[in-house]
Each structure stands twice: as structure tokens, then as C-alpha cells.
């Protein structure tokens, strides 16, 4: 079983992870529309990873004998002014998700809920990677500035991303 406060918080996190997927699918559509198919591929893989994150939380709630409750998913933005604008949004969003995960951990510790704390440690490590991956692309885009050859090469690099088994 889970305490109600912990269950509610984990259900909110399921929602947040699905929103993340929705946001990244929206960004994938944006990148398709400006013919940056490597960026679009990176976003699609990212969106699929977010669905896997939501499923990880969903499965944990089930394993604890509780019922996951699905809430409405907010509509994500649909347009960005540039690839840098979109990737900066990814980085900011991931920082926000890291804060949410930290809040979940703090609640688990406050409630002496050790199994939830252990489950959440995977997310703590994952968020370090999520922030670093987004920041890496932001920094590259800053270096590239308005150099179209650099953008083409980065797009080609991002086209190689594939779904990793965790
Ligand atoms: Fe689920 O890590 Fe991004 O949001």
C-alpha cells in the first residue's frame, strides 16, 4: 500500500511524464515542419522514453496494490522561434521535472516510505542525464549560431539517436 499523499504525488508524476512525451511529440512536429529531421528523430525518441517513464511509475503504483488515476493532460506549445528556442525549452522543462522528482523523494523520506524512495532513485539518476543531454545540444546550437553547415551536421548527428533499453 501507499499513503494517500504519496499515491497522489506519484499519480501527478505519471501525468507530468505523459505531458513531457506530449511536449516532445509537439516539438518533433515542429522540427519536421522546418525540415530538421534529425532533431525530429531525437524528439520522437525522447517522447517514447517519457512514455516509458510514465509506465515505470504506473507499474510501481500497481505493484503496491494501488490504483493509478489518469488526469487530463495539458496542451503543449506548438511553435518555437528557432531550434535553440525549442532546445532551451527542453532544458528548462527537464530542470522542472528534476525539481518534481526531488519533491517526490523528499515526501518519501518524510513518510519513511523506503520502497518508493528506492524506486525514485532511478529517476534521480535519469534526470542528471536528461538535463545534460539537453544542455549539450543547447551549447552546440549556441556555438553554431547561424552557420547552416553546423546546423546540418548537428541534425545529422541527432538523426542517429535510437531507443535505448534501460
Ligand atoms: Fe521523464 O525525464 Fe524528461 O521529463
Closest residue by CA, ligand 1 atom 3: 94
pLDDT in tens, 70-128: 999 999 999 999 999 999 999 999 999 999 999 999 999 999 999 999 999 999 999 99
Tell me how far the alpha carbon of residue 17 lies from the centroid of ligand 1, in angstroms: 6
Domains annotated for the chain, with CATH where assigned, are 4-161 (1.20.1260.10)
Concatenate the DSSP letters of all residues of the chain into one string: ---HHHHHHHHHHHHHHHHHHHHHHHHHHHHHHTT-HHHHHHHHHHHHHHHHHHHHHHHHHHHTT------PPPPPP---SSHHHHHHHHHHHHHHHHHHHHHHHHHHHHTT-HHHHHHHHHHHHHHHHHHHHHHHHHHHHHHHTT-HHHHHHHHHHHTT--PPP-
pTM, to two decimals: 0.96
Q: Identify the pLDDT of residue 96.
A: 98
Tell me how far the alpha carbon of residue 11 lies from the centroid of ligand 1, in angstroms: 15
pLDDT at 165 over 80: no
pLDDT in tens, 16-50: 999 999 999 999 999 999 999 999 999 999 999 99
pLDDT band, residue 166 (cuts 50/70/90)? low
Q: Identify the pLDDT of residue 9.
A: 98
Closest residue by CA, ligand 1 atom 1: 50
Q: Identify the pLDDT of residue 4.
A: 98
Our mutation pick for probing the ligand 1 site, out of 27, 97, 101, 124, counting the most ligand atoms within 8 A of Cβ, is 97
Mean pLDDT of 139-162: 97
pLDDT band, residue 164 (cuts 50/70/90)? confident
Pocket flag, ligand 1, residue 50 (CB < 6 Å) = yes
Tell me how far the alpha carbon of residue 157 lies from the centroid of ligand 1, in angstroms: 21
**Ligand 1: which atom is nearest the Cα of residue 97?**
4
Q: Identify the pLDDT of residue 46.
A: 98
Our mutation pick for probing the ligand 1 site, out of 10, 19, 23, 53, counting the most ligand atoms within 8 A of Cβ, is 53
Amino acid at each position: 500500500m501507499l499513503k494517500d499523499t504519496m499515491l497522489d504525488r506519484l499519480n501527478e508524476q505519471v501525468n507530468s511524464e505523459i505531458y513531457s512525451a506530449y511536449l516532445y511529440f509537439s516539438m518533433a512536429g515542429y522540427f519536421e515542419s522546418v525540415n530538421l529531421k534529425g532533431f525530429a528523430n531525437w524528439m520522437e525518441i525522447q517522447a517514447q522514453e517519457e512514455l516509458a517513464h510514465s509506465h515505470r511509475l504506473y507499474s510501481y503504483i500497481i505493484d503496491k496494490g494501488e490504483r493509478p488515476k489518469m488526469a487530463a493532460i495539458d496542451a503543449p506549445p506548438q511553435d518555437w522561434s528557432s531550434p535553440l528556442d525549442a532546445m532551451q525549452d527542453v532544458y528548462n522543462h527537464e530542470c522542472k521535472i528534476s525539481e518534481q522528482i526531488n519533491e517526490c523523494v523528499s515526501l518519501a523520506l518524510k513518510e519513511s516510505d523506503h520502497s518508493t524512495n528506492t524506486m525514485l532513485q532511478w529517476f534521480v539518476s535519469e534526470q542528471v542525464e536528461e538535463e545534460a543531454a539537453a544542455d549539450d545540444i543547447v551549447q552546440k546550437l549556441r556555438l553554431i549560431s547561424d552557420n547552416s553547415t553546423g546546423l546540418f551536421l548537428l541534425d545529422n548527428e541527432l538523426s542517429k539517436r535510437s531507443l535505448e533499453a534501460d
